[in-house]
Amino acid sequence: MSELRFTEDHEWLRSEADGSVTVGITAFAQNALGDVVYVQLPELQRYEQGAEASTVESVKAASGVYMPLTGEVVAVNDQLEGNPELVNEDPLGEGWFFRFIPADAGAVAQLLDQDAYDRLIKANADA
Amino acid sequence: MSTETLLKTPLHALHLELGARMVPFAGYDMPVQYPLGVMKEHLHSREQAGLFDVSHMGQIRLSGAGAAKALESLVPVDIIDLPVGMQRYAMFTNEHGGILDDLMVANLGNNELFLVVNAACKEQDLAHLRKHIGDQCQIQPLFEERALLALQGPAAVKVLERLAPEVAKMTFMQFQPVQLLGSDCFVSRSGYTGEDGFEISVPAENAEALARRLLAEAEVAAIGLGARDSLRLEAGLCLYGHDMNSQTTPIEASLLWAISKVRRADGERAGGFPGAEAIFAQQQSGVARKRVGLLPQERTPVREGAEIVDEAGTVIGSVCSGGFGPSLNAPVAMGYLDAAHIALETPLWAIVRGKRVAMKVSKMPFVAQRYYRG
């Protein structure tokens, strides 16, 4: 398992051996959302960077999950349809959202690394 | 709005100590949830007992020989014959029949009435009372001096009777003075969850000790505004400012049941409240739109503001409250619909993020009410 990368929208990305990239939301994000009751998963299609590919609904509100990089979604986590609480219980594991093939394979490495993301969280907490 | 400008209830420090996530609500810094989370807080309230801080709500005492008659001039409800020790649901109407606020009215005896009004409306309600009936009775706001706690759920009675055995004999909507931990409280057997339970008006300086004592009981958990909203929604109860407002009448809001028989067009004390003619006319000839229950047929929550369309795609209404019902384990909603579409089981669709979500008009409450009627 390669190291995780992150976005400022509190999504994590992990490059897989087959060239795809797995996307989910971070522990910080699931904690902020509260109990997740529904996940609208993306279609198996190309999305531009920043497009709202998926939506996560907590008891409190709906939040968009944005495409972290331009690419084609090739798999979604069907388990979330029946068990959306996996997003809360195991956000970095069983609670993943989708896998995509990035248009630019090198772009993932440009995103925030763990240290940079941790600093972002700390800055949010201090704000 | 920064937290410095927000008001604090007497339990504010306790909420922080309990690890609550605080949000601004009606000008107050209030707990939306505790570490337990909205889902578990909701379920705990239906299975055991939940303690809610609702001290942001406005408590007002009316007194004087003319108080009941005076209040009747502002609400379509029988106040004159409200028995001592009973509470009743009411609403302030405007001259068009629109709802200015909804409230609870209790008769304390000795020509005293005890009102509980919504937090966001309390200053406006106080001004309304002073303007219209200020010369007919004494009006005493208790906004700073009294806190309000709600203890809700099937275990609420066995918890509260440990402090005051007499509360076990109370039935739904009874209201009486009760000593709790040596403090002069008013207890009503009512609430906003659909469950059996109590609302407790307590002097502000004694509120934290009472809350701590109740939370020390094994059955009781602290519950935030998030679960309060999902509980009341499942119970089909209206939230002022969302499910009704000054533009909606009690008929449109499906609250005809709350208009007392004696105050209706054919009653002994017919009318005599603002907007009576408009409300009676609607009762007679019907309304163009009405509040109904809505059950989404998919797992997608359908939230406030979502448009509702018929099969042809014509907009026929919108959602006024919507979310996820943890006890139903499904989404629930209420909305205003054109009167042609309000029959139970009518299929219709909400537009959520540009897509249709199938819904059905449904009876309310969505979960069985479990009030204790003796």
Name all domains of chain A by residue range, CATH numbers in brackets.
Answer: 5-101 (2.40.50.100)
Token pair listed for B296: 């989404």
Across the range A28-40, mean pLDDT stands at 95
Across the range B139-153, mean pLDDT stands at 98
B199 annotated as ligand-binding: yes
* CB neighbours of residue A17 within 10 Å: 7
**Residue A60 confidence class, pLDDT cut points 50, 70, 90:** confident
Token pair listed for B184: 């002069």
B335 within 8 A of B134, measured Cβ to Cβ: no
Token pair listed for B353: 């993020």
* CB neighbours of residue B266 within 10 Å: 8
Q: What is the pLDDT of residue B299?
A: 93
- In single-letter form, the type of residue at position B119 comes to A
Residue B217, helix vs strand vs coil: coil
pLDDT greater than 50 at residue B184: yes
Most distant CA pair in chain B, distance? 64
What is the least distance, in Å, from the CA of A114 to any CA of chain B?
Answer: 26
B20 within 8 A of B31, measured Cβ to Cβ: yes
Residue A38 to residue B300, Cβ atoms within 8 A? yes
Across the range B159-181, mean pLDDT stands at 98
pLDDT greater than 70 at residue B4: no
Average pLDDT, chain B: 97
Q: What is the DSSP letter of A65?
A: E
Residue B161, helix vs strand vs coil: coil
Bond preceding residue B365 cis, omega within 30 of 0? yes
Which residues on neighbouring strands pair with residue B296, listed in sequence order?
B359
**Residue B73 confidence class, pLDDT cut points 50, 70, 90:** very high
Chain B residues contacting A via beta carbons under 8 Å: 32-33, 37-40, 42, 226, 230, 299-301, 303, 323-324, 326, 331, 353
Q: Which residues of chain B does A38 touch, with a Cβ-Cβ cutoff of 8 Å?
A: 299-301, 324, 331
Percent of chain B beyond pLDDT 90?
98
**Residue B228 confidence class, pLDDT cut points 50, 70, 90:** very high
HSE of B357, CA atoms in CB hemisphere, 13 A: 24
What is the least distance, in Å, from the CA of A36 to any CA of chain B?
Answer: 9
**Residue A1 confidence class, pLDDT cut points 50, 70, 90:** very low
Token pair listed for B172: 């739904």
- H/E element holding B46? helix B38-47
Token pair listed for B55: 């001290």
What's the full length of chain B, in residues? 374
Chains A–B, number of C-beta pairs less than 8 Å apart: 45
Across the range B164-193, mean pLDDT stands at 98
A26 vs A48, A90, A99, B90, B145, CA distance in Å? 21, 10, 16, 46, 44
Q: What is the pLDDT of residue B99?
A: 98
Across the range B196-211, mean pLDDT stands at 98
DSSP for B285-311, written as a single string: H--SEEEEEEEESSS----TT-EEE-T
pLDDT greater than 60 at residue B3: no
Q: How many whole angstroms separate alpha carbon A8 and alpha carbon B53?
A: 35
Residue A83 contacts B, CB cutoff 8 Å: no
Residue A35 to residue B38, Cβ atoms within 8 A? yes
Spell out the domains of chain B, with CATH numbers in brackets: 1-285 (3.30.1360.120), 288-362 (2.40.30.110)
Across the range B269-294, mean pLDDT stands at 97
**Residue A126 confidence class, pLDDT cut points 50, 70, 90:** confident
Token pair listed for B72: 């009747």
Closest partner residue to A34 (CB to CB) among B33, B300, B331 is: B33
Q: How many whole angstroms separate alpha carbon B7 and alpha carbon B204?
A: 14
Chain B residue whose CA is closest to A63: B353
pLDDT greater than 70 at residue B2: no
**Residue B234 confidence class, pLDDT cut points 50, 70, 90:** very high
The structure tokens 């009775």 sit at B137
Q: What is the pLDDT of residue A125?
A: 78
B331-372 pLDDT, tens digit per residue, is: 999 999 999 999 999 999 999 999 999 999 999 999 999 999
Q: What is the pLDDT of residue B204?
A: 98
Name the CA dihedral angle for B314, B315, B321, B325, rounded to a multiple of 10 degrees: 10
ipTM score for this prediction: 0.84
Residue B38 to residue A38, Cβ atoms within 8 A? no
Interface test with B, best of A30, A31, A35, A85 (most B CBs within 10 A): A35
